[in-house]
Amino acid sequence: MILFIEQLLNGLQLGITLFLMSAGLTLVFGIMQVINLAHGSFYMIGAYVGATVTVFTGSFVLGVMAALAAAGITGMAVEILVLRQLYDRDHLDQVLATFGLIFFFNEMTRIIWGKQPLFMDMPVWLKGSIELLPGLVYPIYRLAVIVVGMSVALLLWYLFSRTRLGMQIRAGASNRDMIGALGVNIKLLYTLVFGLGTLLAGLAGVMAGPIFAVESGMGESILILTFVVIVIGGIGSVRGAVVGALMVGLVDTLGRAFLPSLFRTFLSSSYADSVGASLASMSIYILMAAVLIWKPRGLFPSYN
């Protein structure tokens, strides 16, 4: 039971990270109709810049802030320089151009930071563990990630449904010509939305830094998971991103933790481990296929 709750929390934490990644990406998909493969690169930029600044200044908070700034600013620059030319092109061109961006960013980090992965230390005040329930000891850092992620989700909800900017973004998603005609600077709006998305990816990256190794190409594995989340949730829907991210995080974590032992009850142990492990890594894709057969446009299809 204790183990189960612990894994549940781990799943929640992965889900939160995925939500930060997919919230921005789903907006870019939904509002600008652009498929952006390079979203993982901003996750990587966030992690690298965060790790470097943390080591240099000794302050994790400064590291996080630098990571957010770096990811957001790079994102806006990429939007202005590259993506803006692609809004009217078909999806194939967008795929290829952003594929080129991945090549560039991955190699650039290799040139700047070298091939060796960086390791990022947790701040002292988030080190250690806390006893949540009798017998359930959980690392504070991971709890902090969950809390931060949830606050961001609340903030986004507030931004979208309660502010003028959020209203414009939603209007831009349903009819971009009309909102342009009403005098909203749609170009600036797109740049801001894209920057917000990459900033969130940078946040996900810097928070993942102390948990995983910071290395070139780290963005791609999480990018694919993010796609799965968005396809499950429905392209363009932030609500869908929340639900999809939690589903994917939980299924993936719980599958990895419990499928091998489940198979061990009726298969020989070595065979069960390999079948269980490979089924566990396939589980989210099976989940996605199932959702798409049931609802081809995802769980929360957006309007357009």
Partner 1 sequence: MTSAIPKTVIIIAGALFFCSLPWAADYFGEQYLISLFTRILIYSLAAVSLDLLIGYGGLISLGHAAFVGIGAYVTAIFFHHSFVAEPIAGIVAGSDNALLVWPLAIIISAAFALIIGSLSLRTSGMHFIMITLAFAQMLYYFAVGLEKYGGDDGLSLYSRNQLVGMDLNNDVHFYFVCLFFLTLFLFISHRLVKSRFGLVLRGAASSSRRIKALGIPERRYKLVCFVIGGAGAGLAGALLANQTEYVSPGLLHWTLSGELMVMVLLGGLGSLFGPVLGATAYLLLEETLAMYTEHWMVYFGPILIMVVLFAKRGLFGFLTQKE
Stretch that binds partner 1, among 54-62, 124-132, 247-255, 291-299 (CB under 8 A): 291-299
Measured distance CA(140)–CA(128) in Å, rounded: 6
Rounded least distance, CB 198 to partner 1, Å: 17
Stretch that binds partner 1, among 62-70, 120-128, 172-180, 273-281 (CB under 8 A): 273-281
96 binds partner 1 (CB under 8 A): yes
Binding to partner 1 by residue 91, rule CB under 8 A?
Answer: yes
Figure out which of the listed residues 85, 116, 161, 269 binds partner 1, where binding follows CB under 8 A.
85
Q: Can you tell me which of 130, 286, 303, 304 binds partner 1, judged by CB under 8 A?
A: 286
278 binds partner 1 (CB under 8 A): yes
- Spatial CB neighbours of 3, under 8 Å, sequence gap ≥ 6: 257
Residue 61 is which amino acid? V
The reply to whether 1 sits near partner 1 by the rule CB under 8 A is no
Tell the burial category of 226 from Cβ atoms under 10 Å away from its Cβ (0-12, 13-18, 19+): buried
Rounded to the nearest 5 degrees, what angle is found at the Cα of 155, between the Cα atoms of 149 and 157? Answer: 105
- Binding status of residue 57 toward partner 1 by CB under 8 A: no
Backbone angles phi, psi at 212, to 5 degrees: -110, 170
CA 226, 229, 235, 241 dihedral sign is negative
Distance CA 176, CA 85 (A): 16
The contact set with partner 1 (CB under 8 A) reads 29, 33, 35, 37, 82, 85-86, 89, 91-93, 95-97, 99-108, 110-111, 220, 224, 227-228, 230-231, 235, 274-275, 277-279, 281-282, 285-286, 288-289, 292-293, 296-298
